[in-house]
Chains A and B, each alone.
Chain A
Amino acid sequence: MVIIFFYRRLRVKKITPATFALWILVCLVVNFFAFAPRFSDPLAGFFGFGRGLDLLLVLGYALLVYAVYRLYVKIDEMNRNTTELVRALAIKDEIEFKDIEKEE
């Protein structure tokens, strides 16, 4: 499903082949460890976790926190840009007496 989603985005040139390849790699790695969790145990042990699944959960949580923070920053930036735009419009279109006379 994920591969189809990204393949469609690649076809309409919404993502680059490099991004597509990266996502395919992520999918393969996640699927590999999902079906063969024991292979992740040595890696988990290296980071001090008992099971590979624990490492995945902690990594997933850290990624989610990071993603939420990035979203917060992005939304804040968009809000600021919108305000700047609205302000520029308001100042440019200050209601002048001649405008009022024109309307009447």
Chain B
Amino acid sequence: MSEQNSEITKDVYLVVPAFNEEKTVSQIIEGIAERGYKVILVNDGSNDDTLNLAIESKKKYPDHIFVVSHVINRGLGAALKTGMVVAHNKNAKYIVTFDADGQHEIDDIPKVCKPLQDGEADVVIGARPFEDMPISKSFANLIMNALTFIFYGRNVKDSQSGLRAFTAEAADKINIVSRGYGVSSEFIKEISDKELRLSEVTITTIYTPETQNKGTDAIVGLRILTKMVLDLFRI
């Protein structure tokens, strides 16, 4: 794997939230750094070896890997926000969120960045083809798409995708409150509320036993639904 064209990778910061991802974290962040991108690993209070492995990776790529760590677990949404704040502080021009469980293809990063770099969009969501997913996952994701449409009025191909890209200006406008998995739908709400230009590109999804254990299933879906209802009463 070689460093990609520096014009493509320049000012692109990847935010990788990680909670107990010792099996995949090194491979993911080193793979991203190898291609010339900057990556911010947010350890979200992991109780396994995630943080130490991330530090080992930083030793190999000190100028490309940045590590921040939550002392206690605060959830996916909180970790993403922390990473986005750090990216902003480092003057990132484009911010890409990327899951640490190995379900995304690193080579899809240029695909989600291109509409931003071409000035065609403010936000890009990498849409996973549902036909590639196990049935239980695709059903849960279909339901979440429907709920996102009902609650936030925006029809998207994959509301729960973890691979998203933002321009720095768009990221600044987005205000995330949700701490858990509900953050994915909240991004859609914010994109809609702030009238940001959204583009969706098809990405590859790698399903392994580890990635299947995480993400949106029926229980997580119910939690997100509860959160959406409670948010209606938020004062």
Contacts and interface: CB of A to CB of B under 8 A. Distances in A.
The answer to whether A and B interact is: yes
Interface of A: 69, 72-73, 76, 79-80, 82-83, 86-87, 89-91, 93-95, 97, 100
Contact of B69 (A79, A80, A90): A90
Given A80-B177, A87-B82, A100-B58, A94 B70 contact: no
Interface stretch (B60-68, B128-136, B147-155, B186-194): B60-68
Instruction: State the majority secondary structure of interface residues on B.
Output: mixed
Given A86-B72, A87-B74, A93-B69, 11 more contacts: A76-B234, A82-B72, A83-B75, A83-B179, A86-B74, A90-B42, A91-B89, A95-B55, A95-B67, A97-B58, A97-B59
Chain B interface: which size bin?
20 to 34
Nearest to B235: A73
A79 B234 CA distance: 14
B146 interface: no
B58 A87 contact: no
A93 B116 CA distance: 31
29 contacts: A73-B235, A76-B234, A79-B179, A83-B74, A83-B75, A83-B179, A86-B72, A86-B74, A87-B78, A87-B82, A87-B85, A89-B71, A90-B69, A90-B71, A91-B68, A91-B85, A91-B86, A91-B89, A93-B69, A94-B67, A94-B86, A95-B55, A95-B66, A95-B67, A95-B69, A97-B58, A97-B59, A97-B62, A100-B59
Interface of B: 42, 45, 55, 58-59, 62, 66-72, 74-75, 78, 81-82, 85-86, 89, 177, 179, 230, 233-235
B200 to A, nearest CB: 29
Nearest to A80: B177
A72 B68 CA distance: 30
A87 B80 CA distance: 10
A91 B71 CA distance: 11
Contacts of A83: 74-75, 78, 179
A85 B72 CA distance: 11
Contact of B82 (A69, A82, A90, A95): A90
Given A79-B179, A95-B58, A100-B59, A87 B70 contact: yes
Contacts of B89: 91
B68 A90 contact: yes
Contacts of A73: 235
A94 B67 CA distance: 6
Contacts of A95: 55, 58, 66-69
Nearest to A72: B230
A100 B78 CA distance: 25
Nearest to A86: B70
A72 B62 CA distance: 43
